[in-house]
Chain A
């Protein structure tokens, strides 16, 4: 069996009543957007093919999606390593089926988070030149969010369940600060930012608006952004592989 509707709906219900999930994947991105985007003095200035409010909206939605993906995937990996995984192993649901349901849940939450931030953005003056730019940004957020799903999976497998969830969420916040996600970085900080995991992802998400132009001046080449995404995907895949080996040894 590869999918169970009851399991999926129960997982969604679990997340909806989890205060941590609601705070970090819904409330926080919206609040940060309102603070730094909609209510900023420069909200309506141009950021390329959209205004600054739209630019901030993209960043916060991307952060919300990355948080949802990493925390839910790390929890999924922790749970399967504990007794619940053995319980599920006594049913026709395969491990692939388990992964599909958990990934669908995480993607559903990323989509929910993105929709909520975009909805608030649309209502509070975030503007882009064309409608397709909204769709393109949303698509990039959801697809790129998978990288952080991989990260969460690796952390969940490599570390024990207590530390994994905390580690995944703290790391994501760090990645956000040093990845030029929240406030525009300059100088040395910006140089360092190019090498951090969320820089490529969020730069790619903003590409339909900025086409690589940076708020603090200058611009990025597309290959730099893509290379960052590729390298970090490879590194997170290696972490996941290490986690798989380690969790196997633990058994």
Chain B
């Protein structure tokens, strides 16, 4: 189930690589309580790629991002961003980030916050443009402490855009935003992506990865457990789920007969035991690549209340992270 279909990155010249991570490891604590937060991550991202990083809490996403940005040093492995060390890339303004744990000073106004960070990047000339693009112009005079969670995320987004970076890293960028704010955020983000930036974002909103990233990485327990085109990743989990209520009476012989019929028609070929359930009410649930044929046969056999559901990235994600845990 692990789709390691790295999109042909190895053959590319180093100048086409935005991010190159090899053998990255990082642990916390010591002795028996030592936790291996990142456990051998290899990753190449081409310039202009938009990559989503998915994973449950504690999967090692933020630890990986911290090392990618040079905020903490790895126990082992190397990180190169645009051929430089992360710190060099940050200092030259080519790498920037919206940090999940980044904080703002609550007693500054929005405009002061943006001005201070712009001063560090010698990018004061970009301030009006960036404020406009992130929708901060109308709240420029507001104290940061009076801003909503979503507005604070927009301020951080503006700070990340100030150096006009080539590589933009976003750690859970839409935390604290409502549905409308999230849609607006990704709209602004799409414009930035159009400008040819490389974007890596961590998220726990799966639909954000589905809608926005061409490539999705799934992390679990410090490892990358899947890496591929987002659409491929979704379909790689094998077909759709067919649900139907079998005709009465629901007893061993009737159900057994139906199953025999399906097997004879070759409709259960390749279906694992874990992909098929039948409950006591006679509701059958099968995950299969041949959903249409199976559905037709079930209806012919008298089943009713038929449903066919395509897998979402959510199911893919659950499957992947559970598999890796076993």
Residues of A within 8 A of B (CB): 1, 4-7, 10, 13-14, 17-18, 79, 82-84, 86-93, 251
Chain B residues numbered 87-107 whose CB sits less than 8 Å from any CB in chain A: 90-93, 96-97, 99, 101-105, 107
Q: A14-B108, A92-B90, A92-B93 are in contact. Are A86 and B103 (CB under 8 A)?
A: yes
Which of A14, A90, A251 gathers most chain B CB within 10 Å? Answer: A90
Residues of B within 8 A of A (CB): 69, 71-72, 90-93, 96-97, 99, 101-105, 107-108, 112, 115-121, 124, 156, 159-160, 163
Decide if the interface of chain A is mainly helix, strand, loop or mixed.
Answer: helix
Task: Output the nearest chain B residue to A5 by Cβ-Cβ distance.
Answer: B119
Complex alpha-carbon distance, A5 and B160, angstroms: 20
Distance in angstroms from A29 CB to nearest chain B CB is 24
Complex alpha-carbon distance, A82 and B102, angstroms: 8
**Are A90 and B105 in contact (CB-based, < 8 A)?**
no
9 additional contacts (CB under 8 A) given A79-B105, A84-B105: A5-B119, A6-B116, A6-B118, A7-B116, A83-B104, A84-B102, A87-B102, A89-B90, A90-B96
**Are B102 and A86 in contact (CB-based, < 8 A)?**
yes
Complex alpha-carbon distance, A4 and B120, angstroms: 6
**Are A92 and B120 in contact (CB-based, < 8 A)?**
yes
Complex alpha-carbon distance, A14 and B115, angstroms: 14
**Are B102 and A91 in contact (CB-based, < 8 A)?**
no
Complex alpha-carbon distance, A88 and B121, angstroms: 11
**Are B117 and A87 in contact (CB-based, < 8 A)?**
yes
Partner of B69, one of A10, A18, A83, A90: A90
**Are A86 and B99 in contact (CB-based, < 8 A)?**
yes
Partner of A83, one of B90, B102, B107, B108: B102
Task: Output the nearest chain A residue to B99 by Cβ-Cβ distance.
Answer: A86
Distance in angstroms from B63 CB to nearest chain A CB is 12
**Are A87 and B119 in contact (CB-based, < 8 A)?**
no
Distance in angstroms from A10 CB to nearest chain B CB is 5
**Are B90 and A10 in contact (CB-based, < 8 A)?**
no
- What B residues does A88 contact at CB under 8 A? 117, 120
Complex alpha-carbon distance, A17 and B112, angstroms: 14
Complex alpha-carbon distance, A142 and B5, angstroms: 64
- What A residues does B116 contact at CB under 8 A? 4, 6-7, 10
- What A residues does B117 contact at CB under 8 A? 87-88, 91
In the A-B complex, the 10 residue pairs with the smallest Cβ-Cβ separation, listed nearest first, are: A83-B103, A6-B119, A91-B120, A93-B120, A4-B119, A87-B102, A92-B91, A83-B102, A84-B103, A86-B102
